[in-house]
Amino acid sequence: MARRRAAAPSWSPDGRFVAFYASDSCEDRATNVGLWLSEPRTRQLANLTFDFDRALGDWIIDDMHTAYGHNVAPPLWAADGRHACFIVTDHGSTHVFRVDVPGEAAFKRGRPVSHGFTEAANATGRAFNVTRILEGARRIYSLSGDGRGRLAIAASDPRRPGEVFTAIVDESAPGAPRATECPITALNARWLSEVNLADHEPIHGFLMKPPDFAAGRKVPLVLNIHGGPYVAWGNSFTLEFQLLAASGCAVLYTNPHGSKGYGARLTVDIKQRRGEIDYQDFLAVVDAACERPFIDSGRLSITGESYGGWAVNWVVTHTTRFAAAVYDRGTSNRHSAWGNSQMGYLHSNWETPGPPWTHPEFYMQQSPINYADRCETPLLILHGSEDALCDVSEAEQMFKALKALKKPVEWILFLSEPHHMSRTGTPQNRIERLDRIVDWFERYLRPR
């Protein structure tokens, strides 16, 4: 039996079947996660969403939640076992879908493999009637229900940190079933009444204006690149974006090649093409934003964490377009990262043509530190001392290279902080990190 990554098992009401999220990793982390069904007694197995070209689960990230991906909420069975509900990421939002579960017949109609590009091309999910029942420009990050048409979700959007909603599924509605929802909490009402928050408009990504924006005024732009890259920015509340907007910047956050929620092909296309296809995406979306009359194209900046940190290093060593940059918990040397990262040697099995001793040129070509002499952008480096995914030595290498070259660079080391410190760090260090980012951009983005 092929090896699969599986999570969040959920037993059917009659105890016969198990529904769970899984992929066969045919494209490593870029593989679409599907809803699989198993009958433990007979060991039969089928992917019920093999022809649905979206990743199941909540793949949107922000700085308010620690969990994301396919382990957030297990599949939710109907009481009669005929359907199962789940969360799906699509174009920067997460929605609730459901799929038919025809019992034993599922193993004849389903397939024991992950997505195939031919079957998944139109994201139809026809084989088992994959149907959207709750939607909206937001992030649904938790799902539960009674199995009888009553659902409860927790959701946030760019202007709300998170609230709880209930929903009733109407099976009698013409066409596909739909759910009518109602908010049941207003936990942030008082705080929201005291602050002026920014909102965003979707372009090839999302563009957030300062909350006090006035027509006729030009503002600097911050491009924020997400980690992964197999996740997504989206319609979720992110404190960092709000603080940058409140400081007077427009904030641009985009989902380049490699992101989840736009189909398997866009995710997989980044394979062995870092610094090419994604770099083109970054410049293209900045070009699109600069067409807005309120963007000051002479005051551009860039920041990113994890994969986004590597991307920042790549961008500032390949263009002088940005006036300031923040490299946050990423890597600078893909050769050394293969060995010093907790997961580097595993990811390279798919992301590269082979290990560094067989393809040293590839690793060197994709290492921003080899182009450090080209960097003219003032760079702030942020890193946690206990980062196991992107080792702190990656920050040290870039810092020393730029210092030796007498380039404008600063490095802030956060003691005892892990990789996900923007979400799980101590409150004082999370605040300090955000203050450093805002201060750095205010220093270099002042009007000339």
For residue range 286-308, list pLDDT tens digits in order.
999 999 999 999 999 999 999 99
- Mean pLDDT across the stretch 43-58? 86
Rounded Cα distance, 88 and 406, in Å: 48
Q: Are residues 261 and 380 in the same domain?
A: yes
92 lies in some domain: yes
Q: Are residues 72 and 102 in the same domain?
A: yes
pLDDT of residue 269: 86
Task: Give 381-436 pLDDT, tens digit per residue.
Answer: 999 999 999 999 999 999 999 999 999 999 999 999 999 999 999 999 999 999 99
18 lies in some domain: yes
Q: Are residues 370 and 226 in the same domain?
A: yes
- Mean pLDDT across the stretch 90-111? 86
- 104 burial (CB, 10 Å; 0-12 / 13-18 / 19+) is exposed
- What CATH code is carried by the domain that includes residue 394? 3.40.50.1820
CA angle 396, 402, 407 (to 5 degrees): 145
Is the bond leading into 112 cis (omega within 30 degrees of zero)? no
Rounded Cα distance, 13 and 202, in Å: 41
pLDDT of residue 121: 44
Q: What is the DSSP string of 209-277?
A: --TT--TT--EEEEEEE-SSSSSB--SS--HHHHHHHHTT-EEEEE--TT-SSS-HHHHHTTTT-TTTH
Domains held by the chain: number? 2
More confident residue, 109 or 296: 296
Do residues 299 and 221 touch, judged by C-beta distance below 8 A? yes
Rounded Cα distance, 445 and 248, in Å: 10
More confident residue, 125 or 219: 219
169 DSSP assignment: E
DSSP 3-state percent helix, strand, coil across the chain (nearest 5): 25, 30, 45
Q: What is the DSSP string of 80-146?
A: TSSEEEEEEEETTEEEEEEEE--GGGHHHHSBSS---HHHHTT---GGGT-EEEE--SSEEEEEEE-
Q: Among residues of the chain, what percentage have pLDDT more than 90?
A: 53
178-183 and 379-384 as β-strands: parallel, antiparallel, unpaired? unpaired
371 lies in some domain: yes
231 lies in some domain: yes
More confident residue, 210 or 113: 210
Q: How many residues does the chain have?
A: 448
Q: Are residues 234 and 377 in the same domain?
A: yes
413 lies in some domain: yes
Task: Give 263-286 pLDDT, tens digit per residue.
Answer: 888 888 888 888 999 999 999 999
What's the token pair of residue 13? 């009401």
192 lies in some domain: no
| Closest C-alpha among 54, 19, 52, 56 to residue 128 | 52
Q: Where does a domain end: 187, 205, 226?
A: 187
- Mean pLDDT across the stretch 152-169? 90
Q: For residue 374, give its domain range.
A: 197-444
Q: What are residue 201's DSSP bridge partners?
A: 207
pLDDT of residue 119: 42
